[in-house]
Amino acid sequence: MSELSFEQMLAEEGSLNQIRTNAIVTGTVINVKDNEINLNIGYKADGVITKSEYTMDPSVDLKSVVKVGDEMRVKVLKVNDGDGQVLLSYRRLASDRAYEVFQESMDNGTVLKGTVSQVTEGGLSVMMDGVRVFIPASMVSPRFERDLNHYQGQEVEFVITECTPKKRRVIGNRKKVLIERRDEAEQELLSRIEEGQILTGKVSSLMDYGAFIDLGGADGLLHISEMGWGRYENPKKLLSVGQEVEVFVKGIKGKKISLSMKFPDQNPWLNADEKYAIGNVVKGTVARMTDFGAFVQLAPGVDALLHVSQISAERVEKPSDVLKIGQEIEAKVLEYNPDDRKISISIKALEMDREQPSETAPLTIPEDVVEAVSEKAPEEAVQTLGDVLPAVEEVAEEAAAPAEEAVAETVEAVEEQAVEAAETVEEAAEEAVSEVTEAAEEIKEAVED
Protein backbone atom coordinates (compact mmCIF):
# COMPACT_ATOMS: atom_id res chain seq x y z
CA MET A 1 0.00 0.00 0.00
CA SER A 2 1.44 3.38 -0.96
CA GLU A 3 1.86 5.94 1.78
CA LEU A 4 -0.43 8.99 1.76
CA SER A 5 1.19 12.35 1.31
CA PHE A 6 0.74 15.03 3.95
CA GLU A 7 -1.54 16.96 1.59
CA GLN A 8 -3.73 13.89 1.02
CA MET A 9 -4.03 13.31 4.73
CA LEU A 10 -5.12 16.91 5.28
CA ALA A 11 -7.69 16.58 2.49
CA GLU A 12 -9.08 13.37 3.97
CA GLU A 13 -9.21 14.91 7.43
CA GLY A 14 -11.18 17.85 6.03
CA SER A 15 -13.70 15.52 4.45
CA LEU A 16 -14.61 13.98 7.83
CA ASN A 17 -17.50 15.30 9.90
CA GLN A 18 -16.59 17.87 12.49
CA ILE A 19 -17.67 16.27 15.76
CA ARG A 20 -18.42 18.16 18.97
CA THR A 21 -20.38 17.52 22.12
CA ASN A 22 -24.20 17.97 21.76
CA ALA A 23 -23.89 17.95 17.97
CA ILE A 24 -26.60 16.13 15.98
CA VAL A 25 -25.18 13.67 13.45
CA THR A 26 -26.48 10.95 11.15
CA GLY A 27 -24.85 7.53 11.10
CA THR A 28 -25.26 4.10 9.55
CA VAL A 29 -25.55 1.00 11.73
CA ILE A 30 -22.57 -1.30 11.14
CA ASN A 31 -23.05 -3.71 14.06
CA VAL A 32 -25.72 -4.58 16.66
CA LYS A 33 -24.83 -6.33 19.91
CA ASP A 34 -26.92 -7.26 22.93
CA ASN A 35 -26.04 -4.10 24.84
CA GLU A 36 -24.81 -1.61 22.23
CA ILE A 37 -25.09 -0.39 18.66
CA ASN A 38 -22.12 0.67 16.51
CA LEU A 39 -22.49 3.42 13.89
CA ASN A 40 -20.33 4.84 11.12
CA ILE A 41 -20.73 8.59 11.56
CA GLY A 42 -18.17 9.66 8.95
CA TYR A 43 -15.56 10.36 11.60
CA LYS A 44 -12.16 8.89 12.21
CA ALA A 45 -13.71 6.91 15.06
CA ASP A 46 -16.97 4.96 15.07
CA GLY A 47 -19.86 5.94 17.30
CA VAL A 48 -21.41 3.72 19.97
CA ILE A 49 -24.90 3.78 21.50
CA THR A 50 -25.32 1.83 24.72
CA LYS A 51 -28.64 0.15 25.38
CA SER A 52 -29.50 2.65 28.13
CA GLU A 53 -28.93 5.48 25.63
CA TYR A 54 -31.22 3.83 23.11
CA THR A 55 -34.20 3.13 25.41
CA MET A 56 -35.25 3.23 29.06
CA ASP A 57 -37.06 -0.08 28.64
CA PRO A 58 -34.71 -2.90 29.75
CA SER A 59 -36.88 -5.55 28.10
CA VAL A 60 -36.19 -4.25 24.56
CA ASP A 61 -34.09 -6.57 22.35
CA LEU A 62 -31.76 -4.31 20.34
CA LYS A 63 -31.23 -6.94 17.64
CA SER A 64 -34.93 -7.11 16.94
CA VAL A 65 -35.51 -3.35 16.64
CA VAL A 66 -32.27 -2.21 14.93
CA LYS A 67 -30.72 -3.73 11.79
CA VAL A 68 -27.33 -3.29 10.09
CA GLY A 69 -27.68 -0.62 7.42
CA ASP A 70 -30.31 1.41 9.28
CA GLU A 71 -29.72 5.16 9.37
CA MET A 72 -30.08 6.92 12.71
CA ARG A 73 -29.98 10.53 13.85
CA VAL A 74 -28.20 10.73 17.17
CA LYS A 75 -26.79 13.20 19.67
CA VAL A 76 -23.08 13.33 20.57
CA LEU A 77 -22.46 12.95 24.28
CA LYS A 78 -18.64 12.61 24.24
CA VAL A 79 -16.18 12.86 21.36
CA ASN A 80 -13.97 10.27 23.07
CA ASP A 81 -15.46 7.82 25.55
CA GLY A 82 -12.00 6.70 26.71
CA ASP A 83 -11.89 3.76 24.33
CA GLY A 84 -11.40 5.85 21.21
CA GLN A 85 -15.11 5.82 20.30
CA VAL A 86 -17.68 8.58 20.09
CA LEU A 87 -20.40 8.16 22.72
CA LEU A 88 -23.82 8.75 21.17
CA SER A 89 -27.43 8.82 22.36
CA TYR A 90 -30.56 8.03 20.39
CA ARG A 91 -32.87 8.35 23.40
CA ARG A 92 -31.84 11.87 24.36
CA LEU A 93 -32.30 13.21 20.86
CA ALA A 94 -35.74 11.60 20.76
CA SER A 95 -36.48 13.15 24.16
CA ASP A 96 -35.44 16.60 22.90
CA ARG A 97 -37.82 16.20 19.97
CA ALA A 98 -40.53 14.91 22.29
CA TYR A 99 -40.26 17.95 24.52
CA GLU A 100 -40.65 20.16 21.46
CA VAL A 101 -43.82 18.24 20.56
CA PHE A 102 -45.11 18.51 24.13
CA GLN A 103 -44.50 22.26 24.18
CA GLU A 104 -46.38 22.63 20.89
CA SER A 105 -49.28 20.57 22.25
CA MET A 106 -49.48 22.77 25.33
CA ASP A 107 -49.35 25.97 23.26
CA ASN A 108 -51.78 24.92 20.53
CA GLY A 109 -53.92 22.26 22.20
CA THR A 110 -52.67 19.54 19.83
CA VAL A 111 -54.02 16.10 20.73
CA LEU A 112 -51.34 13.41 21.22
CA LYS A 113 -51.56 9.62 21.33
CA GLY A 114 -49.58 7.20 23.45
CA THR A 115 -49.74 3.74 25.00
CA VAL A 116 -50.19 3.37 28.76
CA SER A 117 -47.04 1.71 30.09
CA GLN A 118 -47.88 1.78 33.79
CA VAL A 119 -50.96 2.16 36.00
CA THR A 120 -50.66 3.45 39.55
CA GLU A 121 -53.17 4.58 42.17
CA GLY A 122 -52.33 8.17 41.24
CA GLY A 123 -52.87 7.86 37.50
CA LEU A 124 -51.44 6.64 34.19
CA SER A 125 -47.92 6.76 32.76
CA VAL A 126 -47.42 7.06 29.00
CA MET A 127 -43.92 6.74 27.48
CA MET A 128 -43.31 8.82 24.35
CA ASP A 129 -39.84 8.80 22.79
CA GLY A 130 -38.31 7.96 26.14
CA VAL A 131 -40.18 10.69 28.02
CA ARG A 132 -42.75 9.84 30.68
CA VAL A 133 -46.05 11.68 30.45
CA PHE A 134 -48.11 11.42 33.62
CA ILE A 135 -51.91 11.65 33.50
CA PRO A 136 -53.34 12.10 37.03
CA ALA A 137 -56.36 9.97 37.95
CA SER A 138 -58.54 13.08 38.13
CA MET A 139 -57.69 13.86 34.49
CA VAL A 140 -58.28 10.37 33.06
CA SER A 141 -62.06 10.50 32.60
CA PRO A 142 -64.99 12.92 33.01
CA ARG A 143 -66.35 10.57 35.70
CA PHE A 144 -64.06 9.43 38.50
CA GLU A 145 -62.83 5.85 38.06
CA ARG A 146 -61.67 4.02 41.14
CA ASP A 147 -59.98 1.21 39.20
CA LEU A 148 -57.71 2.24 36.29
CA ASN A 149 -56.14 -1.15 35.61
CA HIS A 150 -58.16 -1.70 32.41
CA TYR A 151 -56.12 1.11 30.78
CA GLN A 152 -52.90 -0.92 30.95
CA GLY A 153 -51.52 -1.32 27.41
CA GLN A 154 -54.30 0.78 25.87
CA GLU A 155 -53.67 3.67 23.49
CA VAL A 156 -55.05 6.93 24.89
CA GLU A 157 -55.39 10.47 23.59
CA PHE A 158 -54.49 13.54 25.64
CA VAL A 159 -53.25 17.11 25.57
CA ILE A 160 -50.30 18.51 27.50
CA THR A 161 -51.12 20.90 30.33
CA GLU A 162 -47.62 21.23 31.81
CA CYS A 163 -44.15 20.77 30.29
CA THR A 164 -40.93 21.46 32.25
CA PRO A 165 -37.92 19.81 30.50
CA LYS A 166 -35.41 20.83 33.19
CA LYS A 167 -37.46 18.97 35.81
CA ARG A 168 -38.41 16.23 33.33
CA ARG A 169 -42.02 16.91 34.26
CA VAL A 170 -44.78 16.46 31.68
CA ILE A 171 -48.48 16.35 32.67
CA GLY A 172 -51.20 15.13 30.30
CA ASN A 173 -54.97 15.57 30.39
CA ARG A 174 -57.25 12.96 28.78
CA LYS A 175 -60.41 14.23 30.45
CA LYS A 176 -60.31 17.53 28.56
CA VAL A 177 -60.16 15.74 25.19
CA LEU A 178 -63.12 13.50 26.10
CA ILE A 179 -65.23 16.39 27.38
CA GLU A 180 -64.69 18.48 24.23
CA ARG A 181 -65.58 15.57 21.97
CA ARG A 182 -68.51 14.58 24.14
CA ASP A 183 -69.94 18.09 24.00
CA GLU A 184 -69.80 18.06 20.21
CA ALA A 185 -71.33 14.59 19.94
CA GLU A 186 -73.90 15.44 22.60
CA GLN A 187 -75.22 18.38 20.64
CA GLU A 188 -75.49 16.24 17.52
CA LEU A 189 -77.31 13.47 19.43
CA LEU A 190 -79.77 15.83 21.16
CA SER A 191 -80.66 17.36 17.82
CA ARG A 192 -81.91 14.04 16.41
CA ILE A 193 -83.56 12.15 19.29
CA GLU A 194 -87.01 12.58 20.83
CA GLU A 195 -89.10 11.07 23.62
CA GLY A 196 -90.33 7.56 22.88
CA GLN A 197 -87.58 6.86 20.36
CA ILE A 198 -85.99 3.41 20.62
CA LEU A 199 -82.18 3.43 20.70
CA THR A 200 -79.37 0.90 21.02
CA GLY A 201 -76.47 1.65 23.34
CA LYS A 202 -73.75 0.10 25.47
CA VAL A 203 -73.48 0.07 29.25
CA SER A 204 -70.65 2.45 30.09
CA SER A 205 -70.81 2.26 33.89
CA LEU A 206 -72.92 0.76 36.69
CA MET A 207 -74.02 2.46 39.89
CA ASP A 208 -76.14 1.32 42.84
CA TYR A 209 -79.04 3.40 41.52
CA GLY A 210 -78.82 2.43 37.85
CA ALA A 211 -76.65 2.34 34.73
CA PHE A 212 -75.25 4.89 32.30
CA ILE A 213 -75.81 3.93 28.68
CA ASP A 214 -73.51 5.26 25.94
CA LEU A 215 -75.81 6.30 23.09
CA GLY A 216 -72.99 7.21 20.72
CA GLY A 217 -72.51 10.84 21.65
CA ALA A 218 -73.85 11.14 25.17
CA ASP A 219 -74.76 8.97 28.11
CA GLY A 220 -78.32 8.43 29.26
CA LEU A 221 -79.37 7.29 32.72
CA LEU A 222 -81.23 4.00 33.00
CA HIS A 223 -82.57 4.05 36.57
CA ILE A 224 -82.89 0.71 38.34
CA SER A 225 -86.67 1.18 38.50
CA GLU A 226 -86.73 1.38 34.67
CA MET A 227 -84.71 -1.78 33.96
CA GLY A 228 -87.85 -3.85 33.50
CA TRP A 229 -91.38 -4.42 34.75
CA GLY A 230 -90.14 -6.45 37.72
CA ARG A 231 -88.65 -5.29 41.00
CA TYR A 232 -84.83 -5.25 41.05
CA GLU A 233 -82.32 -4.37 43.76
CA ASN A 234 -78.88 -4.62 42.12
CA PRO A 235 -78.11 -3.39 38.56
CA LYS A 236 -74.97 -5.55 38.46
CA LYS A 237 -77.11 -8.68 38.53
CA LEU A 238 -78.91 -7.58 35.37
CA LEU A 239 -76.29 -5.74 33.29
CA SER A 240 -72.52 -5.65 32.75
CA VAL A 241 -70.19 -2.94 31.43
CA GLY A 242 -69.92 -3.15 27.65
CA GLN A 243 -73.23 -4.99 27.26
CA GLU A 244 -75.41 -3.82 24.36
CA VAL A 245 -78.98 -2.97 25.34
CA GLU A 246 -82.12 -1.66 23.66
CA VAL A 247 -83.83 1.24 25.43
CA PHE A 248 -86.29 4.00 24.67
CA VAL A 249 -86.07 7.68 25.54
CA LYS A 250 -88.32 8.35 28.53
CA GLY A 251 -87.49 12.02 28.87
CA ILE A 252 -85.11 14.82 27.85
CA LYS A 253 -84.40 17.69 30.21
CA GLY A 254 -81.64 19.99 28.99
CA LYS A 255 -78.65 17.72 28.47
CA LYS A 256 -80.02 14.98 30.72
CA ILE A 257 -81.48 11.93 28.99
CA SER A 258 -83.55 9.45 30.99
CA LEU A 259 -83.99 5.97 29.54
CA SER A 260 -86.26 3.01 30.16
CA MET A 261 -86.53 -0.68 29.32
CA LYS A 262 -90.18 -0.88 30.41
CA PHE A 263 -91.60 -1.09 26.91
CA PRO A 264 -95.39 -0.43 26.93
CA ASP A 265 -96.22 -3.46 24.76
CA GLN A 266 -94.56 -5.70 27.37
CA ASN A 267 -96.65 -4.34 30.26
CA PRO A 268 -97.83 -7.41 32.23
CA TRP A 269 -101.04 -5.57 33.22
CA LEU A 270 -102.30 -5.47 29.63
CA ASN A 271 -103.98 -8.90 29.91
CA ALA A 272 -104.32 -8.93 33.71
CA ASP A 273 -108.14 -8.63 33.70
CA GLU A 274 -108.49 -12.13 32.35
CA LYS A 275 -105.54 -13.77 34.08
CA TYR A 276 -106.24 -12.42 37.57
CA ALA A 277 -110.03 -12.29 37.64
CA ILE A 278 -111.66 -12.89 41.04
CA GLY A 279 -111.96 -16.60 41.69
CA ASN A 280 -109.05 -17.58 39.42
CA VAL A 281 -106.35 -19.88 40.78
CA VAL A 282 -102.86 -18.43 40.28
CA LYS A 283 -99.28 -19.44 40.99
CA GLY A 284 -96.50 -17.17 42.19
CA THR A 285 -93.26 -16.81 44.14
CA VAL A 286 -92.93 -15.25 47.58
CA ALA A 287 -90.92 -12.07 46.93
CA ARG A 288 -90.91 -10.32 50.32
CA MET A 289 -92.65 -10.47 53.67
CA THR A 290 -93.98 -8.07 56.29
CA ASP A 291 -95.70 -8.57 59.63
CA PHE A 292 -99.14 -8.29 58.02
CA GLY A 293 -98.55 -10.60 55.08
CA ALA A 294 -96.43 -11.62 52.12
CA PHE A 295 -96.08 -10.15 48.64
CA VAL A 296 -96.19 -12.79 45.95
CA GLN A 297 -94.85 -12.15 42.44
CA LEU A 298 -97.34 -13.54 39.94
CA ALA A 299 -95.31 -12.17 37.00
CA PRO A 300 -92.51 -9.59 36.59
CA GLY A 301 -94.20 -6.34 37.63
CA VAL A 302 -97.32 -7.99 39.08
CA ASP A 303 -97.33 -8.54 42.85
CA ALA A 304 -100.25 -9.76 44.95
CA LEU A 305 -100.83 -9.41 48.69
CA LEU A 306 -101.26 -12.61 50.64
CA HIS A 307 -102.60 -11.35 53.98
CA VAL A 308 -101.45 -13.21 57.08
CA SER A 309 -105.09 -14.18 57.77
CA GLN A 310 -105.32 -15.81 54.31
CA ILE A 311 -102.24 -18.01 54.56
CA SER A 312 -103.90 -20.89 56.36
CA ALA A 313 -107.14 -21.93 58.04
CA GLU A 314 -105.09 -22.24 61.21
CA ARG A 315 -103.92 -19.11 63.03
CA VAL A 316 -100.58 -17.77 61.74
CA GLU A 317 -98.67 -15.20 63.83
CA LYS A 318 -96.12 -14.17 61.19
CA PRO A 319 -95.84 -15.04 57.48
CA SER A 320 -92.22 -16.10 58.01
CA ASP A 321 -93.42 -18.89 60.31
CA VAL A 322 -94.83 -20.83 57.36
CA LEU A 323 -93.41 -19.17 54.22
CA LYS A 324 -89.93 -18.56 52.77
CA ILE A 325 -88.59 -16.06 50.25
CA GLY A 326 -88.52 -17.72 46.84
CA GLN A 327 -91.14 -20.31 47.76
CA GLU A 328 -93.68 -21.10 45.06
CA ILE A 329 -97.32 -21.05 46.15
CA GLU A 330 -100.78 -21.51 44.64
CA ALA A 331 -103.71 -19.36 45.74
CA LYS A 332 -107.14 -18.03 44.83
CA VAL A 333 -107.76 -14.43 43.73
CA LEU A 334 -110.00 -12.67 46.27
CA GLU A 335 -109.72 -9.09 45.02
CA TYR A 336 -108.59 -7.51 41.76
CA ASN A 337 -108.29 -3.71 41.39
CA PRO A 338 -106.82 -2.79 37.96
CA ASP A 339 -106.96 0.96 38.63
CA ASP A 340 -104.71 0.76 41.68
CA ARG A 341 -103.00 -2.38 40.39
CA LYS A 342 -103.73 -4.27 43.57
CA ILE A 343 -104.45 -7.98 43.85
CA SER A 344 -105.33 -9.93 46.99
CA ILE A 345 -104.98 -13.70 47.07
CA SER A 346 -105.73 -16.48 49.56
CA ILE A 347 -104.26 -19.91 50.15
CA LYS A 348 -106.89 -20.56 52.80
CA ALA A 349 -109.78 -19.97 50.40
CA LEU A 350 -108.27 -22.31 47.82
CA GLU A 351 -107.80 -25.06 50.40
CA MET A 352 -111.39 -24.67 51.62
CA ASP A 353 -112.68 -24.90 48.04
CA ARG A 354 -110.78 -28.12 47.53
CA GLU A 355 -111.96 -29.62 50.82
CA GLN A 356 -115.68 -28.92 50.22
CA PRO A 357 -117.65 -31.21 47.83
CA SER A 358 -118.93 -29.67 44.63
CA GLU A 359 -122.48 -28.24 44.91
CA THR A 360 -123.29 -29.45 41.41
CA ALA A 361 -121.93 -32.98 41.66
CA PRO A 362 -123.25 -35.00 38.70
CA LEU A 363 -126.08 -37.47 39.40
CA THR A 364 -125.22 -40.97 38.21
CA ILE A 365 -128.15 -43.28 37.31
CA PRO A 366 -127.35 -46.99 37.55
CA GLU A 367 -126.67 -48.55 34.17
CA ASP A 368 -129.18 -51.39 34.72
CA VAL A 369 -131.91 -48.80 35.13
CA VAL A 370 -130.95 -47.06 31.90
CA GLU A 371 -130.87 -50.36 30.03
CA ALA A 372 -134.19 -51.51 31.46
CA VAL A 373 -135.94 -48.31 30.39
CA SER A 374 -134.34 -48.10 26.93
CA GLU A 375 -135.26 -51.71 25.98
CA LYS A 376 -139.03 -51.29 26.69
CA ALA A 377 -141.75 -49.91 24.50
CA PRO A 378 -142.98 -46.43 25.46
CA GLU A 379 -145.89 -47.69 27.60
CA GLU A 380 -143.75 -50.31 29.28
CA ALA A 381 -140.88 -47.84 29.70
CA VAL A 382 -143.13 -45.55 31.70
CA GLN A 383 -144.17 -48.45 33.92
CA THR A 384 -140.55 -49.61 34.28
CA LEU A 385 -139.39 -46.07 35.10
CA GLY A 386 -142.08 -45.88 37.72
CA ASP A 387 -140.81 -49.10 39.24
CA VAL A 388 -137.21 -47.85 39.41
CA LEU A 389 -137.97 -44.25 40.39
CA PRO A 390 -137.57 -44.96 44.10
CA ALA A 391 -134.07 -46.26 43.36
CA VAL A 392 -133.22 -43.10 41.38
CA GLU A 393 -134.55 -40.91 44.19
CA GLU A 394 -132.38 -42.83 46.65
CA VAL A 395 -129.29 -42.17 44.48
CA ALA A 396 -130.17 -38.48 44.28
CA GLU A 397 -130.63 -38.28 48.03
CA GLU A 398 -127.24 -39.93 48.59
CA ALA A 399 -125.55 -37.44 46.19
CA ALA A 400 -127.21 -34.45 47.84
CA ALA A 401 -126.56 -35.58 51.40
CA PRO A 402 -122.90 -34.38 51.59
CA ALA A 403 -123.80 -30.94 50.24
CA GLU A 404 -126.71 -30.64 52.69
CA GLU A 405 -124.47 -31.68 55.52
CA ALA A 406 -121.84 -29.07 54.50
CA VAL A 407 -124.54 -26.36 54.34
CA ALA A 408 -125.98 -27.46 57.68
CA GLU A 409 -122.54 -27.38 59.28
CA THR A 410 -121.87 -23.90 57.86
CA VAL A 411 -125.25 -22.61 59.10
CA GLU A 412 -124.64 -24.15 62.51
CA ALA A 413 -121.18 -22.54 62.71
CA VAL A 414 -122.59 -19.14 61.72
CA GLU A 415 -125.38 -19.46 64.28
CA GLU A 416 -122.88 -20.35 67.00
CA GLN A 417 -120.71 -17.33 66.08
CA ALA A 418 -123.82 -15.11 66.09
CA VAL A 419 -124.88 -16.37 69.53
CA GLU A 420 -121.36 -15.84 70.87
CA ALA A 421 -121.26 -12.34 69.41
CA ALA A 422 -124.68 -11.52 70.88
CA GLU A 423 -123.66 -12.79 74.30
CA THR A 424 -120.47 -10.72 74.13
CA VAL A 425 -122.40 -7.58 73.17
CA GLU A 426 -124.94 -8.21 75.93
CA GLU A 427 -122.24 -8.64 78.54
CA ALA A 428 -120.47 -5.49 77.36
CA ALA A 429 -123.76 -3.56 77.50
CA GLU A 430 -124.51 -4.74 81.04
CA GLU A 431 -121.03 -3.74 82.18
CA ALA A 432 -121.40 -0.32 80.58
CA VAL A 433 -124.79 0.27 82.24
CA SER A 434 -123.39 -0.79 85.60
CA GLU A 435 -120.43 1.57 85.26
CA VAL A 436 -122.67 4.49 84.25
CA THR A 437 -125.02 3.81 87.20
CA GLU A 438 -122.13 3.75 89.65
CA ALA A 439 -120.72 6.98 88.22
CA ALA A 440 -124.13 8.67 88.50
CA GLU A 441 -124.51 7.67 92.13
CA GLU A 442 -121.03 9.01 92.92
CA ILE A 443 -121.88 12.33 91.28
CA LYS A 444 -125.17 12.49 93.16
CA GLU A 445 -123.45 11.87 96.51
CA ALA A 446 -120.84 14.51 95.74
CA VAL A 447 -123.57 17.09 94.93
CA GLU A 448 -125.54 16.32 98.12
CA ASP A 449 -122.40 16.71 100.24
Q: What is the pLDDT of residues 132-163, one digit of tens each?
A: 899 999 999 988 888 999 999 999 999 999 99
Using pLDDT thresholds of 50, 70 and 90, give the confidence band for residue 13: very low
The residue among 244, 151, 261, 232 whose CA lies nearest residue 202 is 244
Q: What pLDDT score does 182 carry?
A: 83
Q: Give the model's pLDDT for residue 156.
A: 95
Report residue 213: phi and psi, to 5°. -110, 125
As a whole number, mean pLDDT of residues 92-119 equals 88
What's the pLDDT at 58? 81
Nearest to 353, CA basis, from 330, 336, 385: 330
Q: Determine the Cα–Cα distance for residues 178 and 185; give it in Å rounded to an integer.
A: 10
φ, ψ dihedrals at 305, nearest 5°? -95, 125
Task: Give whichever of 57-61, 241-245, 414-418 has the largest mean pLDDT.
Answer: 241-245
What is the b/e burial string over 246-260, where b = at least 16 CB atoms within 10 angstroms of the residue's CB? ebbbbeeeeeebbbb
Is 371's pLDDT higher than 70? no
With a cut of 50, say whether residue 414 has pLDDT above it. no
**Backbone conformation region of residue 220, classed left if phi is above 0, alpha if psi is from -120 to 50, else beta:** beta
**Residue 362 reports pLDDT greater than 60:** no
pLDDT at 421 over 60: no
Tell me the sheet residues that pair with 295: 288, 305
In the 8-state DSSP scheme, what is residue 235?
G
- Up-side HSE of residue 409: CA atoms within 13 Å toward CB? 7
pLDDT, tens digit, 9 for 90 and up, residues 274-320: 889 999 999 999 999 999 999 999 988 899 999 999 998 889 889 99
**Rounded CA separation 332/417 (Å):** 25
Q: What share of the chain is helix, strand, coil (3-state, %, to 5)?
A: 40, 30, 30
In order of their start, the domains of the chain are: 6-89 (2.40.50.140), 94-178 (2.40.50.140), 193-266 (2.40.50.140), 272-355 (2.40.50.140), 367-428 (no CATH)
**Per-residue pLDDT at 394:** 61
212 contacts: CB under 8 Å, gap ≥ 6:
203, 204, 205, 206, 219, 220, 221, 222
pTM value surpassing 0.85: no
CA 74, CA 49: separation in Å to the nearest integer? 9
Segment 235-241 mean pLDDT: 89
**Residue range 95-108: mean pLDDT, rounded:** 86
80: number of Cβ within 10 Å: 11
pLDDT surpasses 70 at 361 = no
